[in-house]
């Protein structure tokens, strides 16, 4: 049996961004230390006990990092497979390589989901221009061409309209291996954030409803406006995905809600867009708005500790502070009941996530714009 991880031990995190920062803060609250490993200096370095700035293929630095920690996790899904394998030979890496391999590649991910009977957008693999022409003939337009790997916040994708020239679209993505997706006629975007413990226990927060602006998450409200049975189905799906990946840690599943009227009755259908093998921006509200935050839950899970309760404290609104929006921090602090989080980033570049705010509303109070 593996040695138990105890308060006082050190958790290793790959990545130095705001997710790593909030993981380190949650770990500290439980008496754990954090060692951040990243190629660049980021906001997590302000709050960790130890840090290593080195490339992900520096085996000397990785070896010393592994020797200093009890368990390794990460704040982003694009951890190179060789890095994960090198570390996994020395320390438990959680979530494991199956989760990374499945979620790093949109084609592998969608094939895995369909294998579980979980609906996704229709899709076709695209390896070259002839393949793109065949895929467009099969799926039609409009459709979305995405790189198989390394896409985030709408990067690495292009909408194919009737007028789009296929060779220009494929050139625009650097002619990388890609996937063509049929356009899902969704009415809302939702996400489920769940956690699976080392012994297979599963817990999930209520379904989050997400609004994006310029492909970046702008606002999350919880609970999502869904029929109770649809919300339960979303959570059940997430539990099945986590179990199939033999997952340990927090997992996020982003879904589209499709509303269809069948025989005069409105039906809700869920289509999975993507899986993030990590804590997620749409779960930041859990720090202030739930008994256990997603960050604490992830730390508990990867340490093999019991999971905490995901119960909400009220109706929730979380808004990201993007770029210059964070300059309003002083006025925001004057709003009673608002929790402000700033990530300590020095440069407020356009489109950069600088912080977020959480508002906890009375459970029975409607959101202001629903009145
Ligand atoms: P992704 O990078 O896959 O999360 O996509 C970013 C955003 O593009 C999503 O949040 C959706 O708003 C939109 N999108 C992506 N794929 C599709 C699709 N197949 N159908 C409709 N909208 C999509």
Task: Look at residue 341 and tell me whether its pLDDT is greater than 90.
Answer: yes
Residues 6 or more apart whose Cβ sits within 8 Å of residue 344: 21, 43, 46
Kindly state the percentage of the chain with pLDDT values over 90: 92
Q: What is the DSSP string of 200-224?
A: S-EEEPPPEEEEEETTEEEEEEES-
Task: Look at residue 370 and tell me whether its pLDDT is greater than 90.
Answer: no
Question: According to the model, what pLDDT value does residue 364 have?
Answer: 80
Confirm or reject: Cβ of 276 under 6 Å from ligand 1: no
| Structure-token pair, residue 12 | 């290793």
Domain residue ranges in the chain: 10-93, 122-182, 188-361
Q: Choose the CATH number for 122-182 among 3.40.50.2300, 2.30.130.10, 3.30.2130.10, 3.30.1490.20.
A: 3.30.1490.20
| Structure-token pair, residue 118 | 């979980």
Task: Look at residue 1 and tell me whether its pLDDT is greater than 60.
Answer: no
Among 107, 141, 144, the mutation site with the greatest number of ligand 1 atoms within 8 A of its Cβ is 144
Confidence of residue 368 (pLDDT cuts 50, 70, 90): low
Task: Look at residue 153 and tell me whether its pLDDT is greater than 70.
Answer: no
Task: Look at residue 40 and tell me whether its pLDDT is greater than 60.
Answer: yes
The helix/strand/coil state of 189 is strand
CA distances from 207 to 57, 285, 320 (A): 37, 12, 18
Confidence of residue 361 (pLDDT cuts 50, 70, 90): very high
Confirm or reject: Cβ of 212 under 6 Å from ligand 1: yes
Confirm or reject: Cβ of 184 under 6 Å from ligand 1: yes
Alpha carbon distance 39, 55 (integer Å) = 5
Confirm or reject: Cβ of 273 under 6 Å from ligand 1: yes
3-state helix vs strand vs coil in the chain, percent to 5 = 30, 30, 40
Confirm or reject: Cβ of 119 under 6 Å from ligand 1: no
Task: Look at residue 239 and tell me whether its pLDDT is greater than 70.
Answer: yes
Q: What is the DSSP string of 39-103?
A: SS--GGGGG-SEEEE--TT-HHHHHHHHHH-SEEEESSS---HHHHHHHHTTS-BSS-HHHHHHH
CATH topology match: 10-93 vs 122-182: no
Query: Of 113, 286, 325, which is closest to residue 208 (Cα–Cα)?
Result: 286
Q: Which CATH class is domain 188-361?
A: alpha beta
DSSP 8-state class, residue 234: H
Question: Mean pLDDT across the chain, nearest whole number?
Answer: 96
What predicted TM-score, i.e. pTM, was given to this entire model? 0.97
| Structure-token pair, residue 245 | 């990946």
What is the tens place of the pLDDT at every residue in 55-94?
A: 999 999 999 999 999 999 999 999 999 999 999 999 999 9
Task: Look at residue 122 and tell me whether its pLDDT is greater than 80.
Answer: yes
Q: What is the DSSP string of 252-272?
A: EEEEEEEEEEETTEEEEEEEE
Which atom belonging to ligand 1 lies closest to the Cα atom of 156?
2
Task: Look at residue 245 and tell me whether its pLDDT is greater than 70.
Answer: yes
Confirm or reject: Cβ of 296 under 6 Å from ligand 1: no
- Helices 18-29 and 294-302 pack at an angle, to 10 degrees, of 70
70, 56 contact by CB (below 8 A): no
CATH, domain range 10-93:
3.40.50.20
Residue located nearest, by CA, to atom 1 of ligand 1 = 154
Question: According to the model, what pLDDT value does residue 369 have?
Answer: 67
Question: According to the model, what pLDDT value does residue 317 have?
Answer: 97
| Structure-token pair, residue 339 | 């929790």
Alpha carbon distance 283, 205 (integer Å) = 9
Task: Look at residue 366 and tell me whether its pLDDT is greater than 90.
Answer: no
Cα of 216 to ligand 1 centre, how many Å? 11
């Amino acid at each position: 049996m593996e040695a138990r991880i105890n308060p006082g031990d050190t958790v290793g995190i790959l990545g130095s961004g705001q997710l790593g920062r909030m993981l380190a803060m949650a770990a500290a609250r439980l008496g754990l230390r954090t060692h951040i490993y990243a190629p660049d200096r980021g906001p997590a370095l302000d709050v960790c006990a130890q840090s290593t700035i080195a490339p992900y293929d520096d085996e000397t630095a990785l070896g010393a990092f592994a020797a200093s920690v009890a368990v390794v996790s990460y704040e982003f899904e694009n951890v190179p497979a060789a890095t994960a394998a090198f570390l996994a030979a020395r320390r438990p890496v959680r979530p494991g390589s199956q989760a990374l391999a499945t979620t790093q590649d949109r084609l592998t991910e969608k094939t895995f989901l369909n294998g579980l009977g979980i609906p996704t957008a229709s899709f076709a693999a695209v390896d070259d221009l002839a393949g793109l022409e065949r895929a467009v003939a099969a799926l039609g337009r409009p459709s979305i061409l995405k790189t198989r790997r390394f896409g985030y916040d709408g990067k690495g994708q292009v909408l194919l309209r009737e007028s789009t020239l296929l060779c220009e679209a494929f050139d625009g993505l650097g002619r990388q291996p890609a996937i063509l997706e049929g356009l899902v006629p969704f009415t809302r975007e939702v996400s489920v954030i769940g956690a699976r413990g080392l012994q297979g226990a599963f817990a999930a927060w209520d379904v989050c409803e997400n609004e994006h602006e310029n492909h970046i998450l702008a606002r999350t409200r919880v609970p999502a406006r869904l029929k109770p049975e649809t919300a339960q189905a979303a959570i059940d799906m997430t539990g099945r995905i986590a179990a199939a990946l033999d997952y340990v840690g927090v997992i996020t599943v982003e879904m589209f809600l499709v509303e269809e009227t069948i025989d005069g009755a409105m039906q809700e259908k869920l289509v999975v867009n993507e899986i993030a093998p990590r804590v997620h921006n749409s779960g930041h509200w859990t720090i202030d708005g739930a008994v256990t935050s997603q960050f604490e839950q992830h730390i508990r899970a990867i340490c093999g500790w019991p999971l905490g309760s995901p119960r909400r404290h009220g109706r929730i609104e979380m808004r990201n502070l993007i770029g210059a929006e964070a300059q309003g921090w002083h006025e925001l602090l004057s709003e009673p009941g608002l929790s402000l989080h700033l990530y300590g980033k020095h440069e407020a570049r356009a489109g950069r996530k600088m912080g977020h705010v959480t508002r906890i509303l009375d459970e029975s109070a409607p959101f202001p714009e629903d009145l």
